[in-house]
Structure 1
Amino acid sequence: MPATEPTIVATSMGFRPGVRTWLEPGPVFDLMCDLAGRPARPRLCFVGTAGGDQAHRRLQVREAFQGTGVEVTDLALFPMPNVADVREHLLAQDLVWVDGGSVAGLLAMWHLHGLLEPFRAAWEAGVVLGGVSAGSICWHVGGTTDSFGPDLRPVHNGLALLPYANGVHYDSEEQRRPLLQRLVRDGVLPDAYATDDGAGLVYRGTELTEAVADRDGAAAWKVVRAEGDLVLETRIEPRRI
């Protein structure tokens, strides 16, 4: 059965290095299965467009879920969409996981192919949407990105299913925190939520319901514009998963 309400899990975590395979799924995937109502054989659609829809990455993800009971499908847009009806494909899933990479490239392809409506339909139907890095920012209004080069820049053409900006890798990449704060302070981006590496945000509808983490010390953050050209940052203590 699908999630009881629209659900998004936006993170700076995901897969881990595997033992017998290149990757293995981290705890966030169990969380997403729980949010989806714990289906007997979850269907997970992997979207690797931010990384160029590389065939070897799609194979690594399929191998990562061997023996878990999760049925992996994928949605690729290069060199053309690999399914005839994207909306129908997404609605047939329990979970969608969007991989990291170039969020600017990802959003360009999604807008080019008109994917806002299919993703919104899946979200509203209770398909649990999730992802890491680019796959986190994409569901928001925008965020900070290295898609254009080593000096980070704002991106503000996200799908905006969530009416906030989003920061990722907040503790591990030195430009992320000050740039997000400046963009929120100056009104370039709306109030934001951010995640350290190893942390994630769980939204039900458009409300943040909790922060989660798969390692000690990782946190989530709320960044809001205040009077007097100020920005306020509040730590959100996560639940360990």
Structure 2
Amino acid sequence: MTADAPTILATSGGIVAGSRTRWEVGPLTHHAVELAGVTGRAPKVCYLGTAGGDSTEGIRNFYDMAQLAGWAPSHLQLFTMPNVPDIREHLLAQDVIWVFGGSVAGLLAMWELHGVGEVMREAWQAGVVLTGVSAGSICWHIGGTTDSFGPDLRPITNGLALLPYSNGVHYDSEAQRRPLFQSLIADGSLPAGYATDDGAGLLYRGTEMVEALRETDGAGAYYVERGGAAGTAVETPLDTRRLR
């Protein structure tokens, strides 16, 4: 069973501090798995930690979370070589693909090298639910803002472009994010797009953003577009539904 339409849940969240493990699955990621519509068996969820260099700690934390959540987990790592014989076969066999944060520039470079981006598009079109946090949110869009190159944020514009928008993450928690995202849209470096505070996510069906969601009280989501006057941007808060 897969989602009944191409589905992406792009987030600045999806994990919460655990009581017996470092992390547990948060409401946003639980919702992404529910969207796959799996019944009668454990949902197959694949973790990609490419943006974090495929750290062994991140992979271990994922399996701890997945066990608590009752999933059938797997992972795809690209360093130092792919851990599966056929990347396409592995990803297309999943119900959900969960992409973690880190360097979105590094993620996109490694995915290009191994053909992962093309497979992601095929999986998305086939109904595999795509979700992720931070770099795992920006990657589905045309681009956004990133600290991949250093502490001063810079634009990234070579996302997979499954979604024809820009994407701003950590909008409320990192001081550079909001003003840079707005200025890049204002000057045309990025197209209009959507941004999320920590704890919020954006649900897309096909290429349409259909619902803004939050797993923490007060987390917001926004649509940002070029203003009528040159060099300006307009930010519109979106209604968000609280997940439990």
TM-score (norm 2): 0.97
In structure 2, the residue matched to 1:6 is 6
Taking the TM superposition and a 5 Å limit, the aligned residue runs for 1:1-241 are: 1-39=1-39, 40-229=41-230, 230-241=232-243
Following superposition, the deviation at residue 115 of structure 1 comes to: 1.6
User: Segments of 4+ in structure 1 off by > 3 A?
Assistant: none
| Identity %, equivalent residues | 60
**Residue ranges of structure 1 left out of the alignment (5+ in a row):** none
Amino acid corresponding to residue 217 of structure 1 in structure 2: G
What is the alpha-carbon distance in structure 2 between the residues aligned to residue 227 and residue 82 of structure 1? 50
Following superposition, the deviation at residue 29 of structure 1 comes to: 2.2
Between 3-12 and 25-34, report the one with greater CA deviation: 25-34
The C-alpha deviation readout for 1:63-106, integer Å capped at 9, x for no partner, is 11224320110010000111111111111000011000000110
Q: How many residues are aligned here? A: 241
Following superposition, the deviation at residue 60 of structure 1 comes to: 1.1
What is the alpha-carbon distance in structure 1 between the residues aligned to residue 33 and residue 58 of structure 2? 22
What is the alpha-carbon distance in structure 1 between the residues aligned to residue 68 and residue 158 of structure 2? 38
Amino acid corresponding to residue 163 of structure 1 in structure 2: P
What is the alpha-carbon distance in structure 1 between the residues aligned to residue 225 and residue 75 of structure 2? 36
Please provide the CA RMSD for this pair: 0.9
What is the alpha-carbon distance in structure 1 between the residues aligned to residue 76 and residue 179 of structure 2? 34
The C-alpha deviation readout for 1:187-235, integer Å capped at 9, x for no partner, is 0000010000000000000000000000111010000013321211000
Amino acid corresponding to residue 37 of structure 1 in structure 2: G
Amino acid corresponding to residue 126 of structure 2 in structure 1: A
User: Secondary structure at 1:56's aligned position in 2?
Assistant: helix
Question: Is the alpha carbon distance of 1:228 and 1:67 closer, same or farther for their aligned partners in structure 2, counting shifts above 3 Å?
Answer: closer
